[in-house]
Structure 1
Amino acid sequence: MKWLGRRQSDNVEDRRGMSSGGKTIVGGGLIGIIILLVNVFGGENAQMITPILEQMQGSQGNQTETAVPLSKEDQEMGDFVRVILADNEDIWSKIFAENGMTYKKPTLVLFKGSVQTACGGASSASGPFYCPGDQKVYMDLGFFEELKTKFGAKGGDFAIAYVIAHEIGHHIQTLLGTSAKMREEQQGKSEAEANKLSVALELQADFYAGVWTHYNKENLDIGDIEEALSAANAVGDDAIQSKMQGHVVPDSFTHGSSEQRMYWFKKGFDTGDINQGNTFKEIR
């Protein structure tokens, strides 16, 4: 992606230079794998699962922080993230204004290891997620190495751009009231029915990521769309379940199949029309 020398957002909290001690809610091994499966591109799930994890992790120790210098690569990645966030700010501010609304810019938090949020605590094993409680996106950039090595996604910076745009999609849903309405509709539903609503929410966030990409075409390099589709394919529920447990359970899907995630990103990219992203009525 063409990003060097372009505007960077001021709405990034870079906590990667602080090494936190004390409590880490999500441990490694099995617990970390469970969280990665449940919460990859997590959207709403971080808030719901936190109390369970706190019980499993045990009592909280004293929290200490130590300054850690960032490498040149870390600094460059931070600059890239700021450019992508700035692109999202510019494009969504324009789209909202065209529809008679005002876009409220979210904050993106970069961290390493663990982080505390308004939705509870999380670790890097949680994957990138959006917390509606503080309207912030949280991201440990180490996730993208796992996306390549564990789940077979193509490398490249646009996979990161796609994930950021997806999480901003959850912010759009919060601003529009879609997320709150979805949670209300989940009440009293069976697990399978509630999961279908969760899938619709996640696919719509993929659609919004595609819409953002549509309006950012002039900054794309050859192969960027393929990188985004590869990432969407790698984190489909069916792909993850097949790789991690050897079989697929469609009723347990919470984010959508690989085919669905690629389809809705591509639809957003092809149309650029936010009115064509009602995944709650049109789950393919």
Structure 2
Amino acid sequence: MEYRDNVGLDQSRVRYGGGGGGGGRRIAVGGGLGGIVLLLIALFFGGDIGSMLGGGETQPRTQNTAGQPNCDNTDDLEANPDCRWVVYENALTDYWSGAFTSGFKPPAGMQIFSGQVATACGTGSSEMGPFYCPGDTTIYLDDQFTAQLLQQLGTERSDVAELYIVAHEYGHHISNLTGQMSEARSSGNDTGPKSAQVRLELQADCYAGVFFANTIKDQNSPIESVTQEDLDRIVEAARAVGDDHIQQQSGGRVVPESWTHGSSQMRQYWTATGFQSGDPSSCDTFSTDDLGG
């Protein structure tokens, strides 16, 4: 993935090292990795989650309070790679703000944190993986732990894999804006390959694909190009976060009835559907029986 030179950035919505919103009781919507990793590892192994993922830590890590990096434009990436999170957020907001005819509001922010963080959906932790909280419309992630999870699930950290994960979480925000998230949650907590939970996650994957298809066509986007190798990494990231793959990696048997995110095949299918169509309307995962499984 190549970045375009000298594109101005707005870093006002990206926060590093701080806390999120207040402690409400709403449930956070899991992301590409999400709470399913924590749940399955606890289910199959029990005990200390942090040490099972190789971290060896049982207490939350100290939050980084060094402050915001200076990310005025894409040229700052060379001096400070942390500016890539601002690039991701700006590229996503630029695309989705143009895709809506009215009623668009960007997420309140993207919070890069370490250890634990307060959100409007309750206390979030690194071990939950990246997630979107509809209560405060914020995307939360621990960049170091996200890389660790990707490696644990058999793929590599790369900028394009990170952007896929952030684009998926941003896709949840789009579902929140359109009301489909609320409809999906009103159906309860059913699980399984055709459950509302799975359909919501597949829709976010599709929206991620739509974003990639369109951002590389925008001459003003900070993302200049996505290569075939990048596409392969996106597909690999989608495969790595499938419920069946996570269950296999966790040492257990594949139990489709417990799925909340969809199989690797389903997630790859909907990411590809979004990328090939470039059209958000192709992402109606709620009105089809063909979920690509």
1:54-65 aligned at under 5 Å gives the runs: none
2:76 maps to 1:81:
no
Q: Distance in 2 between matches of 1:127 and 1:192?
A: 20
Residue number in structure 2 paired with 1:112: 114
Name which of 155, 158, 161 aligns with 1:156: 158
SS of the residue aligned with 2:103?
Answer: coil
2:104 maps to 1:103:
yes
Structure 1 residues 65 and 263: CA distance shift in structure 2, 3 A: closer
Cα RMSD over matched residues? Answer: 3.2
Paired residue type of 1:6: V
- The Cα of 1:194 is off from its aligned counterpart by 9.7
Compare the two structures and name the one with the higher helix fraction: 1
Verify the 8 A CA contact 1:195 1:251 in the aligned structure 2.
Answer: no
1:268-283 aligned at under 5 Å gives the runs: 268-282=274-288, 283=291
Number of aligned residues: 245
Structure 1 residues 248 and 75: CA distance shift in structure 2, 3 A: farther
Cα-to-partner distance string for 1:166-218 (whole Å, 9 max, x where unaligned): 0000000110011111111227xxx4469711000000000000000010225
Verify the 8 A CA contact 2:242 2:261 in the aligned structure 1.
Answer: yes
- The Cα of 1:112 is off from its aligned counterpart by 1.1
- The Cα of 1:65 is off from its aligned counterpart by 7.1
Verify the 8 A CA contact 1:118 1:134 in the aligned structure 2.
Answer: yes
Residue number in structure 2 paired with 1:8: 9
Residue number in structure 2 paired with 1:200: 199
Q: Distance in 1 between matches of 2:125 and 2:79?
A: 21
2:32 maps to 1:41:
yes
Alignment identity in percent?
A: 36
- The Cα of 1:226 is off from its aligned counterpart by 1.1
Name which of 127, 130, 134 aligns with 1:132: 134
The answer for unaligned runs of 5 or more in structure 2 is 20-28, 37-61, 70-75, 218-223
Structure 1 residues 216 and 186: CA distance shift in structure 2, 3 A: same
The answer for unaligned runs of 5 or more in structure 1 is 20-37, 46-63
167-176 vs 105-114, greater mean Cα deviation: 105-114
Normalised by the size of structure 1, how large is the TM-score? 0.76
**Greater relative CO, 1 or 2 (CA 8 Å, sep 6+):** 2
Verify the 8 A CA contact 1:195 1:254 in the aligned structure 2.
Answer: no
Paired residue type of 2:91: D
SS of the residue aligned with 2:105?
Answer: coil
Q: Distance in 1 between matches of 2:15 and 2:98?
A: 26
Structure 1 residues 192 and 83: CA distance shift in structure 2, 3 A: closer
Structure 1 residues 176 and 70: CA distance shift in structure 2, 3 A: closer
